[in-house]
Amino acid sequence: MAFVQLGADNKVLKESIQSKLEAAKVKSEPCDAKLYDFDDVFYRLFIDPDDRSKLLITLTTPNWSAIRSNGAEEILKEKCGDYLTNFNADGAQFTVNLDDEKARDQSVEIAQSFSKLRIYTLGGPLYKYARALQTGKIAETKALDFKLRRDTHCWIVPGKDRIAVVLGFEFPIKTDKILGNQILTEFLEVRRQKDLQSAPVIAYSKDAPSELKGLKIPSWDTQAFLGYFTILLLPSHVKANKLETAVENVIGFRAYLTYHIKCAKAFFHQSMRARVKKMQQILNRARYEDDQDKRKKKKIIVGAK
């Protein structure tokens, strides 16, 4: 089974911000655009018709209260602090000055910095724990759990020399649950390959792993619950040059899984349609066609008296 690596950046958000900055070189136009990202993250781009000198960018996420003080604020200040206006109850707000010639000239760089807002926000806690692991202070931290999205719960559990990230999945659609189980099982098989021995250790089970002993477990929907997927990160996985990639891959795993489930379903539908079309062609060739030239004519034989 082949998998496609999803990019961590939101290209629609990036292109929208870049286009507004480039357009401001000539004339800034009013804007009120709403954009949606993976994991229930929402953005709003706004240029006031009465004040076209500013582009307001608002980020909203349902789990902000759980992650705000656990690394999310800190990483947003670090990555986008030059444009950060304030934090609110649901997320953060940023302002880009469209009258600033330097900002207009750096439209590509600014748009790129905002394209990973989802990862910076949801991955803030993991950045915090990974850096503690780098500096040898991981033992001073406590386990954290929060709802990554409405159908996925996340635990970050520190150890003496490692971090365990446990994801609990729910799939309300039965076919998605079946395909998700197959994909996660495939991950376990692939991880056993010799050339992947340095990759993070992973585990998949229906029962809560030992890392969650003594921690709060949510009440799962028994019909939708799929299982627990555990990723163990060692210091070598979160070194300075690997930290950002590690966070992107772990936090983006649920979106990655959902994407491939949808791709698998699309492939199955395409294969079934192709198969039905082929069967119809075979049936059409086998259909009996009445041939007038070969039809036998009835003969009347008149017997002599």
Lowest mean pLDDT across 10-24, 33-47, 163-177, 183-197: 183-197
> What pLDDT, on the 0 to 100 scale, is given for residue 184?
94
Average pLDDT in the 6-29 region? Answer: 92
Task: Compute and round to an integer the Cα radius of gyration of the chain.
Answer: 28
Average pLDDT in the 79-95 region? Answer: 95
3-state secondary structure 66-104: HHHHHCHHHHHHHHHHHHEEEECCCEEEEEEECCCHHHH
Cα-based distances in Å from 201 to 40, 73, 141, 167, 232: 28, 29, 21, 14, 5
Backbone angles phi, psi at 204, to 5 degrees: -140, 125
> What pLDDT, on the 0 to 100 scale, is given for residue 93?
97
Lowest mean pLDDT across 38-52, 152-166, 272-286: 272-286
Under the banding of pLDDT at 50, 70 and 90, the label for residue 194 is confident
Give SS3 for 43: strand
Is the pLDDT score of 301 beyond 60? no
**CA neighbor of 24 nearest in space, from 131, 123, 133, 97:** 97
Is the pLDDT score of 295 beyond 60? no
Residues forming beta bridges with residue 225, ordered by sequence position: 170
pTM: 0.86
Q: Are 45 and 57 in contact (CB under 8 A)?
A: yes
Mean pLDDT (the chain) is 90
Q: State percent of the chain over pLDDT 90.
A: 74
Under the banding of pLDDT at 50, 70 and 90, the label for residue 269 is confident
Q: What torsion, rounded to 10 degrees, do the Cα atoms 199, 201, 204, 209 define?
A: -150
